[in-house]
Structure 1
Amino acid sequence: MRIRLAIAIVCFVFSAAVFSQSPSLKKQPTTITDKAHPQQVQSNAQTAQQKMDKALQFSKEGKYVASIELYQDLLKNHVTELKKDIALQALVYLELSFSHSSLGNQKEEIDYVEKAIEIMESHFTQIKETDYVTAYNNLHYYYGEYDDSKGLQQTHQKFATYFKARFKAKEASPVYYYARRVLRKMEVIAAGLKEDPVKAIAIIQGFRDEIKQSPAEEKNADWSYLLASYSSLCDYYNYNSTDHAAGIEAGTAFLQTAMVLKDSFNIMLSHSKLANQYRELGNYKKALYHVEASLQSFQFPPTSMSRFSLETMKAMNMASLQDYTPAMAMVERNILSLLQTHIGPNQQILSFNPQLIKQLNNSRYVNIFASSALIFIEAYRQQKKPLYLEKAEKLVSTASLLFGEYYKKGSYNSTLNNLHKKIVEGYLFVAIEKYPNAYLPKKRILEQIEKNTSFHLAKSFELQLLKQNTPIAKLMHELQWQQQQKEFWSQEQIEKGKTVDYSTKIQEQVVAIKKLEKEIAEKQKAFTNFTLANYSVDACMQLLQPQQAILKYYVATNHAFRVLITHDDIAIQQLGTVKALAEKVNEYNALIKKPNSNWKPLSAALYEQLVKGIQPQQLTIIPDNFLNYLSFESLYNAATKQFLVNHFPITYNYSLSLWYLHQKNRNTTDKAKLAAFAPDYTQTVYKNASLAKLPFAKEEAEQVAGIFKGDSFTGNAASKENFYDQSNKASMLHCAAHTVLYDNNFNESCLLFNQAQPLYLSELYTKAMPLEMVVLSACNTGAGKLVEGEGLMSLSRAFTYAGVKSTVVSLWQVPDKETAAIMVLFYQYLNKGLNKAAALSKAKQDFVSQYPLYAHPYFWSGFILTGNDAPLTSSSGPWFWLVLIGAVLLVVSGAYFLFLRKKAYFSS
């Protein structure tokens, strides 16, 4: 799947359709229950209705700030009236969401529409059905805006269930036709998510046929949604496909249909989709033609994000044609026009206050500022004018601020990743050019970048740490149960419709969930060491010892960077273009997996480019993008004729935030307990494929278990059941087993136990395993599908998600005889008290020394340690005591010798 394109053009089709389909608010009958003051109650209800009518009018006029103020007033001052009139209460939240969305505030739009749906499904018999359809329509649109594929799928599934249960047969009612067109649009997007454009096209064609039979009064709205479906098909080709010919064909069909219908908005939109395709092909002149056609096709309102986005796209195509002066002039006019619209007149790029536009936390606004910054940077590269760099810094810092408001601190998607890469590109270039020797500005820039990186895995690990606290774990378990109950009864309500009322049950769950969430939040305050509450770049630097360093890589939009973080400094370096570096790394990865290849020249070149000049005693590497596949230990220093592994121990990590949690939760115990597993694959078949025997696996498991006086589970005992059982008893698990990887469905990737019992990667995302270490001494356990912004979806990552503090995995298939030798050496050093990174480093060096015929990096460099590198034991066995006794004897003998010298001196 490709990343999002440089510019995402706004699609207001849903918004426009939603607005046209929103039912006009009718005055609701009021039940008078307050006998003491009946007139006051009636008056309050009338006042609430009048405010709602006025707010809706403001919204129609585009006065969204004024409408939001009135909706908030209703929620604050008319609680009693809204409790009695559920339909009105739900509509307030629904319209609040719409108004925030119209202002470009994605932070609020999803929360408010979800609240509206919660109210509706908790009082299903009291709602207006058209409002309910609108709510799901809007929620699906908003999830699409945020590029939340999981949210899109869940919304589509729930709405499809409602549609099937509610409409057993075709109805001649407005709500049926409204729900049908909403469902068809969802189906087209769902087909795109499954990367099935053929099905999407078939759904569109079927929808066209249905429209022919629609009543005359429904046809306009149906055609509007059909055009929106074409737009979604184009989005699939723009964002998730490299089939540009098919993308251009879909865009052309979209344009032709819009022209037949004389729909100027969709003519504009279809041109923008075609511009995206041609830009991706590198045909900037053709892209520029379609952007200009798009701008001329529609009369944009003053606050239109579409116009701002299109003009930014036009400037980017001009810059790609190296026409920088008009590109910068257009960008500046565009930005100033945007600022005037949202702040007021007389704004300047270098002096405006970004805090005044924080509410524009929308992907397109982030993109406008980030892309504009890159245009100024490209001009600066050519002309070296400091003013361009100043403007680029202001624009990229604004983009970063808006991104921080927009990002929900969950997992990254392609839109988030693409936007973040642009910000990283601009920010790190500014840091290098403007602040090469200024520590504080560099730290400020890095803090801002890291504040916006993906927190998904770190937060998942944080959750598992908190679950180790029994009271919190109990509350979390209860919360999960209540959430499941609420979901169950909500689903039952959707299927039963208004024939059965489950509102009381659902409301009980809502109250219980809110109470539990509050209790959990209170208890978490006492466990800040287990959380990211105090996380920052500065906090990480304070945790670094003088001999330690973190080397973090960033693969941005056009260039790759490395940032070296020590306890007292930050050094930033540009590494070259992404394209050239990716080609070099991919070529090297292919070479290193061939035992007889000539790997040295390319390894030496990558050493010079990626790690030269770094001299800590211990290094943590946080790779990015394709660098996740690289074994840095194998990089060759031609000057010293040594591998990087000979210079210092190396640990890997997924993010700086996760590294922080690992450091805050370092444990060294006196009684590390190990359980080792080695299945027997004799005559074993998994999914019609025979599994190769691992003749050295049983011996390996028994040896490593013996080193730590642990238990070995071999043959039939190496079962999935025993593995889960030992995950609750041991502190370390070792698996000498096969793995199966599926690039297109990484959740089906698995570790195979005896009789080919699969432990799926997806299962680990639901388990809690507070283990110190898991060693996967198997093929490709560190490999997996690369999800940009998130890293490799591998078994190693899945175990980290489950709460395992460190993993040792292999990046490629290694013969099990050599694997066994390295593993035994590794555990021997662990038992001597070395930390994990040093133990693995020494094991690799000893292996090369003892088996010089296997010095090729293929045999030893694929094993990497990820996570916490703390020693596993503080009492380090006979070797430790021999060294300690020797040291004591040396001190005693030295003291005695000194005593004899002094005695001789004074006697003379």
Structure 2
Amino acid sequence: MSKIKLSKKYIGIFLVLCCIVSFAQKPSVAYYKIRNTENYTDTNKICAVEELLKKHLTDKDSLQYGIDLTAFSFWLYKNKHFDIGTLKSEKAVKFFRTFIPKNEKLYTYNLGLLADFYSRIEDYASSNDIHFKILRIKENKNKLGEIYKKIAINYNLEANFHVATTYFLKAIEEFRKEQKYRKLFDTTLLLSDNYQNILDDENIIKGIESLKKLDTIKNKIDYSLLDEYLIHQRLGNLYNYENLFNPCASLPYYKKALSIAKELNNNRILCLINNNIGYVYRNIDNDSTLFYFKKAFTYTHNDKNLNATVLSSLGLAYLDRKEYDKAYKSLNLSLDKLKTNFKKTKLTDKQTIKLSDQNLGIELLKNIAITQIKRYEDESSKELLEDALFYLKQADQQIDLIKLESTHQESKLFWRGLASDIYINLVKICYLLNDPELAYYYLEKNKALLLLEDLTKERSKTFFNVPDSIIKRERSFKRKIARIQNKPLSQKYNDETRSLQLFDIKEQYKSFLDSLQNKFPKYYKYKVKTNILPYKKVIKEASKTNSTFIHYILNDESGYGLIISKNKQALFEIHNIPLIQKYISKFNVLASKPFTSKIDQTAFQKVSKELHNKLLPENIFYDNRGKIIILPDENLLSIPFEILIQKNEKYLVEDYLISYAYSISFLEQNTDLKRTHQKEFLGFAPINYKNLNTLTKSSTEINTAAKKFDSDILLKEEASQQNLLNSLADYKIIHLSTHANANDSITPWIATSTKNITLNDIYSTKNNAELVTLSACNTSLGKLQKGEGVMSLARGFFNTGANSVVSTLWKADDQSTQEIITDFYTYLKEGKSKPEALRRAKLDYLKNHSLSEVSPYYWSSLVLIGNPEPMYSSINSWFLLVGILTSFLFIFILHKKNSKK
């Protein structure tokens, strides 16, 4: 360990000397004298060097000024004077950028040092901007691995884990080429940590696989006991992931790491490994948990970060034991260790705590609030709820800051998932405080916020006058990225190969965006801030349209709903969530297939009534026979509310107009988006497929629908991938009758006569549709992204411009779908609103069929998402023309009579 520290201590000095030797000059004698004066404090040395640098400028010895400034910047970095060091390093970079004769090595060294300073002051974005600049300097091609590694570490530190993965892999590739096995080993360890942070099954497995690969290079490095410890400790962390393994699977690795830690006798690693073992026992034996956490605390000594980590663990152990006072004290002490401002005083809601570790800090803020909520359940003190509300608001502000700085979709989705747990606790407090207005705000933040951001960004392109040619070029890069993402994995083309291919194209895309920053600086530096529709405006809209909005939020333990209508705004609790989830699973199984017996029908009716009672409680839900706009959450996204059975034994659809929305704010702002379409209707049906069943009725469906509109049709060979992608922007109505599929493990796709169109492809397109009809299977399904919604084909079309989408919740039946869609268009053309047109089409189907054919499977899969307004006038155009001519004639006759008078 001492050898490692010694080498790190002098490596910077060595680099400075190398650069200075190459410049044929070294720091001045006066500089060395100041730096080596033993009775000077650091403050004295800083002041003295400042005076020396001024003297160099006065004497017009600018070269010596640059050399001494470089050495001084490094000394400040080594002695952890990061704030003042950053300023001096910026001056050094500026000096050598303009100094003649140019010295690329010294300029590059100062750039690298400045990037390290930025990283130290937690300005990771600026640090990476400098690293990207260094990458463009040809002389640094032999240092690519190290630069990629630093970029990856920065992305990891700002919790941009998905992007960090790509750069870690690129660094590993370079180190392998350069045969720098020590660096390859260390970077792989960092990569395994990064995989763990992503918190999903796929990446946990990748983390384990990456560590196992290290066996092949152990004999190529000076493999130490510390290396052995780190591998076992990392494997323990990965196997401790609860969704994939039994937590006990991690214990053998942790126990082995603990025995090595004792041999190394290093307090830090003894602390961390005991803390990790404590977490394994949380779900097994609380006494053992507390024992290991307390043991870990004995090794923290004066290390502030270790103190914060273990105090947080102790707080959770006390929370599990329902010792809430101890939990609150431990968690708050941990938070104090992380605060870099307002350590002693209480903040207001408008101020934000600054934290040295945002990941741990956000978790602490959430757990302190949960502790106060638990205490409230025992003591019923309103002050406890208000305290919990304060901490959760702070956690929300922290996530907003991270999300605002993040430019990558995967990272934003990661943080949306973590935020979801915060929002449900915030809504719980609002329920207990009877504050529906504040609950509405956090319910909206929990729904499709990134979709709303994308919409805001799309509108900003017009505002900032970004030319169409630039927007098309940007989309072309997205299409190239989509093509790589769509390539199937195999033994020869594995996930790592795909990641490296994506890295290359994304680097080109980044260079393209960087090149535009000078031309359109306001747009490309614009931070998207989404506006949530004001609560009072929602009530006004509900009153004006006679609508009822029903907003849901739930997780595995809790659930809440908010009803907003003209006469009623109320929060309600959904009780017994595990039972609700069982009902939903059973409901979906029964609804997504035809009834084959009276037993099936009776079972469905029973579970449908139960869900109606739980999700639309009688004391909350007003029976006003109006419009209902459902904003579902989690697995409620998979059920059509239309077939919930009321007390009067009728389906909900028989009495109400029902539609769905991602969020009220998105619904309102998406409606306002300007759409320009040259043509009315596009019908698309490949009919015949290479590896899928022929859909003979899709031709009839398209042709029948097309007769009602001024239409273009793409059938058979013409229904190709490229023809569809090229046509999407031109039509008011887009109707796709084809095969499709989606679930939580595959990328959603739509079949064409050539290649499938995936969700990734759709994201790289643009449409101007008032309505997209997806007459295919499972088009509302996809991966459920916690806190954001389902990543479905329907969402993809909203993301790229659609105002409303008709999509399916399960496998569509050809015949019944054709009948309902045909009638839907008939009513739509007559001027009915979209949900009214779909409702009437479904009721007509029920009226004209009997027995098994009226099973919900046949008619309830189609749902309307988005804007519910009519698309056509209810007044017949001929009658309108006759009325206008009659009016003109009347005015003409009246004018004649007046003239004669």
Q: 1:202 to 1:553 in 2, by over 3 A?
A: closer
What is the TM-score when the length of structure 2 is the normalising length? 0.78
Contact 2:659 2:866 in 1 (8 A): yes
Matched, 1:607 2:601: no
Report how far residue 659 of structure 1 moved. 2.0
d(CA) in 2 for partners of 1:729, 1:478: 19
- SS of 2:831's equivalent? coil
The answer to whether the Cα contact below 8 Å between 1:637 and 1:643 also exists between their aligned partners in 2 is yes
Deviation (angstroms), 1:798: 2.0
Q: Does 1:159 align with 2:171?
A: yes
* 1:265 aligned residue (265, 268, 271): 268
Runs of 5+ consecutive residues of structure 2 not aligned to the other structure: 26-55, 100-105, 481-507, 891-901
Match of 2:16 among 14, 26, 41: 26
Of the two structures, which has the highest relative contact order with CA contacts closer than 8 Å and spacing of 6 or more? 1
Corresponding position of 1:829: 827
State the distance in 2 between where 1:738 and 1:327 align. 54
- Whichever residue aligns with residue 468 of structure 2, its letter is A
Q: Secondary structure at the match of 1:604?
A: helix
Shift of 1:595: 2.5
Larger mean Cα displacement after TM superposition, 180-189 or 287-296: 180-189
1:75 to 1:449, Cα distance in 2 relative to 1, 3 A? farther
Given that 2:162 and 2:411 are in contact with CA atoms closer than 8 Å, whether structure 1 keeps it comes out as no
Pair 1:574 & 2:573 matched: yes
Q: Could you tell me how far apart the structure 2 residues matched to 1:190 and 1:96 are?
A: 26
Structure 1 position 700, deviation (Å): 1.3
Q: Which residue is 1:592 aligned to?
A: 591
1:329-340 matched pairs, under 5 angstroms: 329-335=329-335
Task: Report the Cα distance in structure 1 between the residues aligned to 2:794 and 2:510, rounded to whole angstroms.
Answer: 40
**Cα distance in 2 between the residues matched to 1:420 and 1:538:** 21
Within 2, Cα distance between the matches of 1:99 and 1:40? 31
Please name the residue that 1:632 is paired with: 641
Q: Which amino acid aligns with 2:779?
A: T
* TM-score normalised over the length of structure 1: 0.77
Q: Which sections of structure 1, spanning at least 5 residues, go unmatched? A: 1-14, 60-65, 102-107, 486-504, 526-530, 893-908
Please say if 1:385 is aligned against 2:393.
Answer: no
Distance 2:194 2:514 in 1: 34
Alignment partner of 2:394 out of 377, 398, 403: 398
8 Å contact kept, 1:532–1:661: no
Equivalent position SS for 1:712: strand
Shift of the alpha carbon at 1:190? Answer: 6.0
1:112-142 per-residue CA deviation (whole Å, 9 max, x = no partner) reads: 331231121122416994xx65553343344
1:553-702, aligned counterparts within 5 Å?
553-556=552-555, 558-566=557-565, 570-596=569-595, 597=600, 598-612=603-617, 613-615=620-622, 617-638=626-647, 640-665=648-673, 673-681=680-688, 684-686=689-691, 691-702=692-703
Aligned pairs (5 A) from 1:674-823: 674-681=681-688, 684-686=689-691, 691-741=692-742, 743-746=744-747, 749-754=748-753, 757-823=755-821
Q: In 2 relative to 1, CA 53–542 (structure 1 residues): closer, same or farther, beyond 3 Å?
A: farther
Deviation at 1:868, TM superposition (A): 2.5
Contact 2:312–2:331 (Cα < 8 Å) also in 1? yes
Deviates more, 1:365-374 or 1:765-774: 765-774
Q: Give the whole-Å Cα distance in 1 for the aligned partners of 2:356 and 2:685.
A: 55
Query: Which residue in the other structure is 2:454 paired with?
Result: 460
Counterpart of 2:41 in structure 1 is none
Alignment of 1:46-125 (within 5 A): 46=67, 48-49=69-70, 51-59=72-80, 66-72=81-87, 74-75=89-90, 79-81=94-96, 85-101=106-122, 108-109=123-124, 111-125=125-139
SS in structure 1 opposite 2:351? helix
User: What is the Cα-based RMSD across aligned positions, in Å?
Assistant: 4.2
Assess, with a 3 A threshold, how the Cα gap between structure 1 residues 367 and 517 changes in structure 2: closer, same or farther: farther
Alpha carbons 2:749, 2:759 under 8 Å: kept: yes
Which residue in the other structure is 2:468 paired with? 473
- The residue correspondences of 1:403-552 to structure 2 (distance < 5 A) are 403-408=399-404, 410-411=409-410, 416-434=415-433, 436=434, 442-444=436-438, 446-447=440-441, 450=444, 455-464=449-458, 471-477=466-472, 512-518=515-521, 520=523, 534-538=531-535, 541=538, 544-546=541-543, 547-552=546-551
- Report the CA distance shift for 1:826/1:396 in structure 2 as closer, same or farther (over 3 A): same
Structure 1 residues 519 and 376, CA, compared in 2 at 3 Å: closer, same or farther? closer
C-alpha distance in structure 2 between counterparts of 1:224 and 1:650, whole Å:
60
Q: Does the C-alpha gap of structure 1 residues 539 and 100 become closer, same or farther in structure 2, counting only changes over 3 Å?
A: farther
How many angstroms apart in 2 are the aligned matches of 1:668 and 1:209?
Answer: 59
Deviations 1:857-879 (A, max 9, x none): 2222211112223332337657x
Q: Is the 8 A contact 1:676 1:733 kept in 2?
A: yes
What SS does structure 2 have at the residue aligned with 1:432? helix
Deviations 1:763-804 (A, max 9, x none): 112222222222111121211222222321221122222322
Indicate the residue corresponding to 1:900 in structure 2.
none
AA of the residue aligned to 2:731:
A
CA contact (8 A) 1:645 1:841 kept: yes
Deviation at 1:817, TM superposition (A): 0.9
Tell me the CA shift for residue 832 of structure 1: 0.9
* Distance change >3 Å, CA 459–CA 809, structure 1 → 2: same
Amino acid corresponding to residue 246 of structure 1 in structure 2: A
For 1:636, what is the secondary structure of its paired residue? coil
Does structure 2 conserve the Cα–Cα contact (< 8 Å) formed by 1:275 and 1:291?
yes
Assess, with a 3 A threshold, how the Cα gap between structure 1 residues 242 and 626 changes in structure 2: closer, same or farther.
Answer: farther
Identity %: 17
Q: How far did 1:562 drift?
A: 1.6
SS at match of 1:576: coil
Tell me, yes or no, if the aligned pair for 1:392 and 1:426 is still in contact at 8 Å. no
Q: Is the 8 A contact 1:412 1:789 kept in 2?
A: no
Residue number in structure 1 paired with 2:303: 301
Q: Deviations over 1:716-752 (max 9, x none)?
A: 3433343234324322111221113364232xx3211
1:238 is paired with a residue whose SS is coil
Partner of 2:310: 310
- Residues in 2 aligned to 1:610 and 1:654: alpha-carbon distance in whole angstroms: 18
Contact kept? 1:550, 1:622, Cα under 8 Å? yes
Cα deviation 1:372-429 (Å, max 9, x = unaligned): 1001101211232333223212222222222222223655667524531332233212
Counterpart of 1:720, as a letter, is Q
Structure-1 separation of matches of 2:722 and 2:761: 13
> Which secondary structure state, in structure 2, belongs to the residue aligned with residue 355 of structure 1?
coil
* Structure 1 contact 204–229 (Cα < 8 Å) conserved: no
Are residues 479 and 413 of structure 1, via their aligned partners in 2, closer, same or farther at CA, if it must alter by over 3 Å? closer
- Aligned residues of 1:271 and 1:294 also touching (Cα < 8 A): yes
Deviates more, 1:286-295 or 1:822-831: 286-295
Aligned pair in 2 of structure 1 residues 462, 51: CA closer, same or farther (>3 Å)?
same
Provide the residue aligned with 1:320 in structure 2.
Answer: 320
What SS is found at the alignment partner of 1:750? strand
Q: CA contact under 8 A between 1:633 and 1:644: conserved in structure 2?
A: yes
Whole-angstrom CA distance in 2 between matches of 1:541 and 1:578 = 28
Conserved 8 A contact 1:358-1:405: no
Larger mean Cα displacement after TM superposition, 859-868 or 562-571: 562-571
One-letter amino acid of the counterpart of residue 694, structure 1: L
**One of 346, 351, 358 as aligned partner of 1:355:** 351
Q: Distance in 1 between matches of 2:510 and 2:164?
A: 25
Residues 655-679 of structure 1 show CA distances to partners (whole Å, capped at 9, x for unaligned) of 344223223227699x961122233
- Relative to structure 1, the CA distance from residue 511 to residue 842 in structure 2 (aligned partners, 3 Å threshold; closer, same or farther) is closer
Distance in structure 2 (CA, Å) of the matches to 1:57 and 1:484: 46
Question: How far did residue 151 of structure 1 move?
Answer: 0.3
Could you report, residue by residue, the CA deviation over 1:796-850 in whole angstroms, capped at 9, with x for unpaired residues? 1222223222211110113211111111111111101122222212222222233
Inter-partner Cα distance in structure 1 for 2:850 and 2:462? 45
Indicate which of 351, 355, 368 corresponds to 1:372. Answer: 368
> Residue 515 of structure 1: SS of its match in structure 2?
coil
